[in-house]
Each structure stands twice: as structure tokens, then as C-alpha cells.
């Protein structure tokens, strides 16, 4: 396993499959009340520039369940690159803690932390990528469909960090990905080209959400205006109006299609309450699986210390 998890593109297909197996095992152990204190005595630093519910709660809870401890740094405490150079923060933290989770605006900040820390760095979200979310989503899909490949994901809406991480995943695993966005809101060009090179005809871009969801096993959406884009919210509501995931759109997908959303959701914008709370929705399974997948990631990256 690599030292850090910055992108799904950094790990192999076999490592993805191993993480899915480990996450499933940890989930089962927890359900049976069997402890797994693989990180006993270890400390995790949580550096957050953005607000969070799921990322903070699941990493802190996961670290506790694995026998370790976490230290949360709110946006005004470290002020990466302002109060202190990112590299210097990394060089300090590596002397005290066993791992770092960073949730930042600039992707380069997490890259810089990893470059200058001898301890594992986990990308808890950047403006470019959200690998822990999509790894957790793969766990949810595997549980529901019984396989990690041979399915179709239709991503509807903004070509944001989650869409980018789906592109990283499709380059590693044999599933199909169709992304529907308005012109000018496509995913990262480099990641898209890389995914097309690796997955070829299994990756499709379109401006038509109906075309994207046709025969989809999973219909996925996210907010139209991400954190830091609040000033664009009104304009984005106008541009994305035809990209709402609603009952009418789902008529063009498979009847049993899974509806996914990484949350938080803006009900009545990118998704209707009828669909979000409907029988096809697995959004809270996704949220729960953040805990189990992130535990698996921490065990894979930080568990080596205990073995040595």
C-alpha cells in the first residue's frame, strides 16, 4: 500500500479490492460487538479548512473504535500557509502524530502535506478530489449489487471533486461511467482524458441527463454549488435546472437503480425529497459506510507501525 491516500488513482485495483474486503470485515465485527483495536496508542490529526459533518464524525469515531485518539484542528487554529508554511506544519505534526487527515480548499495543500510528512496523509476532501467518499460509495454499491465491477454509474450535475474521483475509480475498475453536465461545468480535463485512456468506451460525457441515466445501475448527484462557490449559487441554480434528479428522470434509468448522493443535499435543487427519501435511495448507507471504509484506510496506512 502507498504511504498516503491522496487520490484513488494512486492505488491499484488490487488495493481497492483489499480495502473493500477490510471495510466489510470491520463493519461486520462492529455489528457483532467484536473490537478491533488495530491502532491502539496511535494519534490522528484532523486538519479542516472546511466545515464537516460526515468526515469529522466518521474519522473521529473510527479512530476511537480502532483504539486510537484524534486531535481536531478547526479552520482558524492552524491557518495552513498563512500562519505557518504547509511544509512546516507537516514537519511538526510528523513528530507527534501517526497520521494526518486534511480537508482543504486547494488540492496542492494536501499534496504538500504528504510530500513533507513521513507519516500517512489522507485526503479528507479538496476542491479537486474526494477519494474517501467514492471508496465508501464503492463499498455501498458492492453491498447492494454483489460486485465491484460490471455496473453503470450515471453522475448528474456539476463536474466537481466527487465526479473527478469517480473518474479516478473508473480508470482502475471495470465499470461504466456516464457524466452529464452543462457546457463549461465538466470535470477536470486531465483526469477525464486519463480515465478515457484507461477505460476507453466505458467513460462517456454528455449534456443530456436522460441519455446519461439510461440503463444506469446507479444514479448519482451532488450539490450544484460546492463549498467556496456560494457566490455562484443563484447562477448555478439557473444553469443546472434541467439536471435535477427527480422521479421523471429516474423513469429513464433501470427500475431498481440505486440513487446516491454524498450529502449534504439541497432538497428541491439537485434532488427532490421524493427521490432522496424514496425506496431507491441509499444515501444513508453511503454515509454510514464512510466510517467503515475510512477505518479500513487508516488500518492499511497506519496499522504497519504496530506490526513493526
Catalytic-role residue among 54, 236, 261, 290? 290
Work out whether strand 218-221 and strand 258-261 pair parallel, antiparallel, or are unpaired. Answer: parallel
Residue 269: CB atoms within 10 A of its CB come to: 20
**Residue in 231, 175, 226 with CA at minimum distance from that of residue 203:** 175
Which one of 130, 236, 261, 292 is the catalytic residue?
Answer: 130
Catalytic residue among 103, 107, 261, 292: 103
The one catalytic residue in 42, 65, 133, 286 is 133
Query: Which of 222, 236, 292, 294 is flagged as catalytic?
Result: 222
Give the cell for residue 195.
480515465
The answer to whether 36 is a known catalytic residue is no
d(Cα 298, Cα 18) in Å, to the nearest integer? 13
202 is catalytic: no
- Half-sphere CA count of 42, side-chain side, radius 13 A: 26
Whether the upstream peptide bond of residue 264 has omega within 30° of 0, thus cis, is: yes
The three cell numbers locating residue 93: 505534526
Exactly one of 4, 217, 262, 294 is catalytic; name it.
262
Our answer to whether residue 132 is catalytic in this structure is no
Cross-sheet strand order for the sheet of 258-261: 203-206, 176-180, 152-156, 218-221, 258-261
Half-sphere exposure of 282 (CA within 13 A, CB side): 23
DSSP for 133-161 reads HHHHHHHHHHHHHS-SSS-EEEEES---H
Tell me the C-alpha distance between 283 and 271, whole Å.
12
103 is known as an active-site residue: yes
What 3-state class would DSSP assign to 221?
strand
Report helix, strand or coil for 304: helix
Catalytic residues: 103, 130, 133, 222, 262, 290
Amino acid at each position: 500500500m502507498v504511504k498516503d491516500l491522496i487520490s484513488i488513482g494512486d492505488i491499484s485495483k488490487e488495493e481497492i479490492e483489499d480495502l473493500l474486503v477490510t471495510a466489510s470485515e470491520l463493519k461486520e465485527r462492529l455489528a457483532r460487538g467484536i473490537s478491533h483495536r488495530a491502532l491502539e496508542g496511535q494519534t490522528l490529526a484532523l486538519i479542516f479548512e472546511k466545515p464537516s459533518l460526515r468526515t469529522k464524525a466518521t474519522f473521529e469515531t473510527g479512530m476511537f473504535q480502532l483504539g486510537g485518539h484524534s486531535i481536531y484542528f478547526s479552520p482558524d487554529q492552524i491557518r495552513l500557509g498563512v500562519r505557518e508554511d504547509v511544509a512546516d506544519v507537516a514537519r511538526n505534526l510528523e513528530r507527534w502524530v501517526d497520521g494526518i487527515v486534511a480537508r482543504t480548499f486547494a488540492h496542492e495543500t494536501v499534496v504538500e502535506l504528504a510530500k513533507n510528512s513521513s507519516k500517512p496523509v489522507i485526503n479528507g476532501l479538496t476542491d479537486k478530489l474526494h477519494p474517501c467518499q467514492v471508496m465508501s460509495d464503492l463499498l455501498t454499491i458492492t453491498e447492494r449489487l454483489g460486485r465491484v465491477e460490471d455496473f453503470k454509474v450515471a453522475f448528474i450535475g456539476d463536474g466537481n471533486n466527487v465526479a473527478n474521483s469517480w473518474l479516478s475509480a473508473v480508470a482502475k475498475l471495470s465499470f461504466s461511467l456516464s457524466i452529464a453536465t452543462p457546457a463549461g461545468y465538466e470535470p477536470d480535463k486531465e483526469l477525464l482524458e486519463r480515465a478515457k485512456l484507461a477505460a476507453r468506451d466505458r467513460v462517456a460525457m454528455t449534456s443530456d441527463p436522460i441519455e446519461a441515466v439510461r440503463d444506469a445501475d446507479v444514479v448519482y448527484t451532488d450539490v450544484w454549488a460546492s463549498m467556496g462557490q456560494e457566490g455562484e449559487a443563484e447562477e448555478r441554480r439557473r444553469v443546472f435546472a434541467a439536471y435535477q434528479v427527480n422521479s421523471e428522470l429516474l423513469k429513464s434509468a433501470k427500475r431498481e437503480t440505486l440513487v446516491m448522493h454524498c450529502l449534504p443535499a439541497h432538497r428541491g435543487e439537485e434532488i427532490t425529497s421524493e427521490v432522496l427519501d424514496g425506496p431507491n435511495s441509499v444515501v444513508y448507507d453511503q454515509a454510514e459506510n464512510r466510517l467503515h471504509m475510512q477505518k479500513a484506510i487508516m488500518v492499511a496506512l497506519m496499522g504497519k507501525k504496530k506490526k513493526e
